[in-house]
């Protein structure tokens, strides 16, 4: 990419550990993401990729370590009454797009996108509607504002989910394998929206995906996860073309 991120650190992860019972899924992750940077995370199933994203916005409580997003800093460990408010503040700054869309089936496309700004950010209905229509237009679905999710294709549902996350005006967008539940012919429309967020809006993004073409074209940096650690990271031109680790090379050879 010709445009490069600036020096501001939007997301900082320090010595992050996550256990599920006795299984340690994340083993001391350290990561910084700068404003406007696109980081693609890849690796085998069970390597900790999705768990990292879920810890960043505290859908999973980190066992230990620190997460900081735009100045909101939280230590891992059990939640307390005080921490719940900090978690709310942190989540406002992070948009999350899931594998399986997570749209409200009883709400229209427009209602899904308006819900967060109204309930979380307490925006007036008219303001929330304007914001929602702006982002539905951004993802190419303004004409589907009154449709319900059951009448949308998988690709359209995922684009609504992206608009919903954008409507919260987050500082960083987290994408958890956003194309893995889609039929092959629908993947391109979602990747195109994500590409435009990166190249036109310079959105800060962490993307868990196996779409290596997207990583080569859009990412500033890629990180290969293996057994709960970042085994290798760097510019996609280096990591994907000339991986240092045999594990990274085996994985790339398998998916390309």
Give the pLDDT band of residue 3 (cuts 50, 70, 90): low
Instruction: Give strand pairing partners of 66.
Output: 14, 75
* Residue 173 reports pLDDT greater than 60: yes
- Residue 2: pLDDT over 80: no
Asked whether 26 and 16 are in contact (CB, 8 A), the reply is yes
Average pLDDT, the chain: 94
The percentage of the chain sitting over the pLDDT mark of 70, rounded to a whole number, equals 97
Mean pLDDT of 183-202: 94
Q: Could you report the per-residue pLDDT of 118-164, keeping only the tens digit for each?
A: 999 999 999 999 999 999 999 999 999 999 999 999 999 999 999 99
Give me the numbers of helices (H) and strands (E) for the chain, helices first please. 9, 10
Q: Could you give phi then psi for residue 196, rounded to 5 degrees?
A: -70, -35
User: In 3-state terms, what secondary structure has residue 232?
Assistant: strand
CB atoms near residue 105 (< 10 Å):
8
Burial status of residue 100 (CB atoms within 10 A of its CB: 0-12, 13-18, 19 or more): middle
With 70 as the cut, is the pLDDT of residue 217 above it? yes
pLDDT(1) > 60 = no
- What phi and psi, each to the nearest 5 degrees, are found at residue 73? -115, 130
pLDDT confidence tier of residue 4, bands split at 50, 70 and 90:
low
Q: What is the pLDDT of residues 50-99, one digit of tens each?
A: 999 999 999 999 999 999 999 999 999 877 677 888 999 999 999 999 99
Strands 64-69 and 221-226: unpaired
pTM, entire model:
0.94
């Amino acid at each position: 990419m010709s445009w490069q991120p600036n020096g501001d650190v939007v997301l900082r992860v320090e010595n992050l550990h996550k256990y599920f019972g006795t299984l340690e899924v994340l083993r001391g992750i350290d990561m910084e993401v700068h404003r406007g940077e696109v980081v693609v995370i890849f690796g085998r199933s069970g390597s900790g990729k999705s768990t990292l994203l879920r810890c960043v916005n505290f859908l999973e409580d980190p066992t230990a370590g620190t997460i900081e997003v735009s100045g909101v800093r939280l230590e891992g460990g059990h939640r307390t009454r005080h921490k719940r408010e900090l978690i709310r503040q942190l989540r406002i700054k992070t948009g999350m797009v899931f594998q399986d869309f997570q749209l409200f089936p009883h709400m229209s496309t427009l209602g899904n996108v308006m819900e967060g700004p109204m309930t979380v950010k307490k925006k007036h209905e008219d303001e929330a509607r304007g914001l929602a229509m702006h982002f539905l237009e951004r993802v190419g679905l303004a004409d589907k504002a009154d449709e319900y999710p059951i009448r949308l294709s998988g690709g359209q549902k995922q684009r609504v989910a992206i608009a919903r996350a954008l409507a919260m005006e987050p500082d960083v967008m987290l994408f958890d394998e956003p194309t893995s539940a889609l039929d092959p012919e629908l993947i391109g429309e979602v990747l195109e929206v994500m590409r435009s967020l990166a190249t036109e809006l310079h959105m800060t993004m962490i993307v868990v995906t196996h779409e290596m073409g997207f990583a080569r074209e859009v990412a500033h940096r890629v990180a290969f996860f293996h057994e709960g650690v970042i085994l290798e990271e760097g510019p996609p031109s280096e990591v994907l073309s000339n991986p240092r680790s045999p594990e990274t090379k085996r994985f790339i050879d398998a998916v390309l």
